[in-house]
Structure 1
């Protein structure tokens, strides 16, 4: 069974979140993602070389700030779309002086949850 990654215990660390948000290219990607976009669409909007864009998308996805979904096409040429997967990020100073992070996520429809599950199944096959 594929688990919802947002329910997993593998939340990113405060350092991973801060590193992603400290990167100017990552911030530009977030600024441009008013709606889900493909790599080609982001390349046009962000003026970031495609090879760099792929690396930055990986950083943002690993930090759980972006969500990947797959558009299934009849011709078999499926497209991956990226969307922002947070509404608010909070940093808190713990008693041991370490930082903890909380990420508020947008609510998702059943169709969006199904699309995410399908994307996860495709990754595993």
Structure 2
């Protein structure tokens, strides 16, 4: 999954509205309370794995989700997904077009370090 759409000032409102309108996407946001693989998401959200992948991609395109790689000492790496937003603002610009801003989750450096240390301890 390519560039970070949150850095794009032209985040398409339809992409965000579509994700918000999708009940499966909303369920993923509800259950994704910690980093999870697509399989874990599909199990917790009670949906087919193929559906989970599609919805995870949709949420990532809407700047609401972040994919991270969990590094495993045995060389097998896997993707984990985390919620990457705290809110969505919808405004009108001077031409009365919708402007959507997905507010990214702010992770404090201490929390990021604690998360990385936790991963290191799991590996050893």
Task: Please say whether Structure 1 and Structure 2 have the same fold, judged by a TM-score greater than 0.5.
Answer: yes
**TM-score between both structures, scaled by the size of structure 1:** 0.78
Q: Is the 8 A contact 1:11 1:64 kept in 2?
A: no
Counterpart mapping for 1:60-79 below 5 A: 60-79=59-78
Tell me, what secondary structure is at the counterpart of 1:91? strand
Counterpart CA distance in 2 for 1:97 and 1:8 is 22
Aligned to 1:39: 38
Counterpart mapping for 1:71-90 below 5 A: 71-90=70-89
Counterpart CA distance in 1 for 2:9 and 2:93 is 19
Counterpart CA distance in 1 for 2:84 and 2:31 is 14
Cα drift, residue 108 of structure 1: 2.6
**TM-score between both structures, scaled by the size of structure 2:** 0.79
Query: Any gaps of 5 or more consecutive residues in structure 2?
Result: 114-124
Aligned to 1:96: 95
Tell me how many residue pairs correspond in the alignment. 111
Counterpart CA distance in 2 for 1:26 and 1:54 is 11
Superimposed CA distance per residue, residues 83-111 of structure 1 (whole angstroms, 9 cap, x where no aligned partner): 11000100002221210011221223458
Compute the RMSD of aligned alpha carbons: 2.4
Query: Any gaps of 5 or more consecutive residues in structure 1?
Result: 114-125
Q: Is the 8 A contact 2:6 2:102 kept in 1?
A: no
